[in-house]
């Protein structure tokens, strides 16, 4: 079974390290801090020697076996730091990791880190890691998990925020954990242990929201109308144009239209569309709100936005794009007009 991040922290504080660790996920701050914590604990326990391998394309996997069998020059414990960015070691790499896990050398810890990850990565070599040691998947935080993460991190820095201050920071950083960590560190220096309210936070914190078209589409598909419109406002403030934002949104609407025809066997449709399991819930939620007729109407509205944005139609492209997002997020609002 995968090990949650809080359980890893307890495990590191408890005593000796396990022979193998796999830390994998696309939330880079969580991955970086978890790996740093493990390395720090290894140093405390006498793992002074450290070998770093970057397992990029054409990596010689024999190096892993050679490192495992080599005697330490300093008669100390050793940490093998294997960096596997893609999370896909290939056939040769998988075999090398499985072989290592079947007979891990004494006084050695193998740390594998991967910055790209999905359920599809969890094949036989990951099972071998779990059997010999610990596998910690680090998934991006969900919107409802972010406030608690901020509360915990602020508490660690000695900050005393009000609920309004926490909500204000959540809105400003828009899921960017690295930006949140930097802002919290700055707040700790500037505010100390004095009470921190929303007004003070607004004065001290820079707007670090990461607005992009992918978040825009996901917010609308999730039914979060307010967030979708807030992201759209941020993109507009950054100088984006309506037509440039339509590409991915149009792709998602076309996908929903196709999926609407396969409601009886959505699992097969997801497989045919090559949709990752982690993404299935987003589409299921959207499909539950409306039928094919609605998604076709949304495609018509997207065409209207495109024509207006290109000067081929009358109207306000931003207003029509807002209407489209509302219709995607809240089909019952019926904000689409019948005109073409």
Sequence ranges of the domains in the chain:
5-137, 146-204, 213-333
Report whether pLDDT(276) > 80. Answer: no
Residues 6+ apart with CB under 8 A from 126: 22, 135
- Residue 26 sits at φ, ψ, to 5 deg, of -100, 0
- CB contact at 8 A, 206 and 226: no
Identify the CATH class of 5-137. Answer: alpha beta
Strands 195-196 and 108-114, bridge-based pairing: unpaired
Mean pLDDT to the nearest integer, 243-267 = 87
What pLDDT digit, counting tens, does each position of 171-227 carry? 778 778 888 898 999 899 889 889 999 888 888 876 666 667 888 998 999 999 998
Q: What is the mean pLDDT of the chain?
A: 88
Mean pLDDT to the nearest integer, 87-104 = 95
- pLDDT in the model for residue 247: 86
- The percent of residues in the chain predicted with pLDDT above 90, rounded, is 55
> Phi/psi zone of residue 174: left (φ > 0), alpha (ψ -120 to 50 degrees), beta?
left
Report whether pLDDT(337) > 60. Answer: no
Number of H helices, E strands in the chain: 16, 7
In angstroms, the Cα distances linking 28 to 31, 117, 140 are 5, 11, 9
Q: Which residues pair with 138 in a beta bridge?
A: none
Q: Report which of residues 281 and 326 the model is more confident about.
A: 326
- CB contact at 8 A, 101 and 11: no
- Residue 267 sits at φ, ψ, to 5 deg, of -60, -45
Determine the Cα–Cα distance for residues 15 and 38; give it in Å rounded to an integer.
12
In angstroms, the Cα distances linking 64 to 52, 69, 100, 134 are 10, 9, 8, 18
Instruction: Identify the weakest region by mean pLDDT among 266-270, 275-279, 293-297, 314-318.
Output: 275-279
Mean pLDDT to the nearest integer, 302-323 = 92
- CB contact at 8 A, 116 and 26: yes
Q: Running DSSP on this structure, what letter comes out for residue 194?
A: S
Tokens of 20: 């193998």
- CB contact at 8 A, 122 and 276: no
What pLDDT digit, counting tens, does each position of 65-89 carry? 999 887 666 557 899 999 999 999 9
Does the pTM surpass 0.95? The reply is no
Report whether pLDDT(136) > 80. Answer: yes
- pLDDT in the model for residue 196: 93
Architecture of domain 146-204: Orthogonal Bundle (1.10)
Confidence of residue 147 (pLDDT cuts 50, 70, 90): very high
Q: Report which of residues 330 and 172 the model is more confident about.
A: 330
Confidence of residue 336 (pLDDT cuts 50, 70, 90): very low
- CB contact at 8 A, 217 and 323: no
Q: Running DSSP on this structure, what letter comes out for residue 334?
A: -
Mean pLDDT to the nearest integer, 100-111 = 94
Confidence of residue 272 (pLDDT cuts 50, 70, 90): confident
Mean pLDDT to the nearest integer, 166-175 = 83
Q: Which residues pair with 37 in a beta bridge?
A: none
Determine the Cα–Cα distance for residues 296 and 205; give it in Å rounded to an integer.
42
Architecture of domain 213-333: Up-down Bundle (1.20)
Question: Which among 296, 308, 306, 309 is positioned nearest to 338, based on CA atoms?
Answer: 296
In angstroms, the Cα distances linking 106 to 51, 128, 147 are 15, 17, 42
- pLDDT in the model for residue 109: 96
- Is 146-204's fold the same as 213-333's? no
What pLDDT digit, counting tens, does each position of 13-48 carry? 888 899 999 999 988 899 999 999 999 999 999 998
Q: Which residues pair with 101 in a beta bridge?
A: none
Mean pLDDT to the nearest integer, 138-161 = 91
């Amino acid at each position: 079974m995968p090990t949650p991040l809080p359980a890893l922290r307890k495990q590191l504080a408890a005593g000796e390290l396990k022979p193998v660790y796999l830390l994998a996920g696309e939330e880079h701050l969580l991955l970086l801090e978890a790996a740093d914590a493990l390395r720090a604990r290894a140093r405390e326990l006498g793992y002074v020697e450290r070998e770093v391998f970057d397992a990029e394309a054409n990596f010689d996997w024999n190096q892993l076996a050679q490192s495992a069998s080599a005697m330490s020059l300093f008669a100390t414990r050793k940490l093998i730091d294997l960096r596997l960015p893609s999370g896909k070691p290939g056939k040769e790499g998988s075999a090398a990791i499985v072989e290592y896990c079947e007979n891990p050398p004494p006084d050695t810890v193998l740390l594998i880190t991967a910055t790209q990850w999905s359920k599809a990565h969890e094949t036989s070599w990951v099972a071998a890691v779990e059997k010999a040691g610990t596998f910690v998947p680090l998934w991006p935080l969900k919107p409802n998990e972010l406030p608690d993460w901020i509360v915990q991190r602020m508490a660690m820095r000695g900050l005393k925020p009000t609920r309004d201050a926490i909500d204000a920071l959540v809105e400003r950083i828009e899921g960017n954990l690295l930006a949140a960590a930097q802002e919290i560190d700055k707040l700790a220096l500037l505010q100390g242990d004095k009470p921190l309210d929303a007004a003070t936070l607004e004065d001290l914190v820079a707007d670090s929201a990461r607005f992009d078209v992918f978040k825009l589409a996901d917010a609308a598909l999730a039914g979060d109308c307010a967030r979708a419109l807030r992201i759209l406002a941020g993109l507009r403030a950054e100088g984006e144009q309506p037509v440039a934002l339509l590409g991915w949104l149009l792709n998602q609407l076309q996908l929903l239209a196709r999926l609407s025809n396969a409601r009886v066997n959505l699992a097969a449709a997801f497989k045919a569309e090559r949709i990752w399991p982690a993404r299935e819930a987003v589409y299921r939620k959207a499909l539950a709100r409306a039928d094919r007729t609605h998604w076709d109407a949304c495609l018509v509205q997207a065409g209207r936005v495109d024509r207006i944005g290109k000067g081929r139609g009358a109207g306000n492209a931003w207003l029509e794009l807002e209407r489209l997002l509302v219709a995607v997020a809240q089909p019952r609002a019926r904000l689409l007009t019948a005109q073409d």
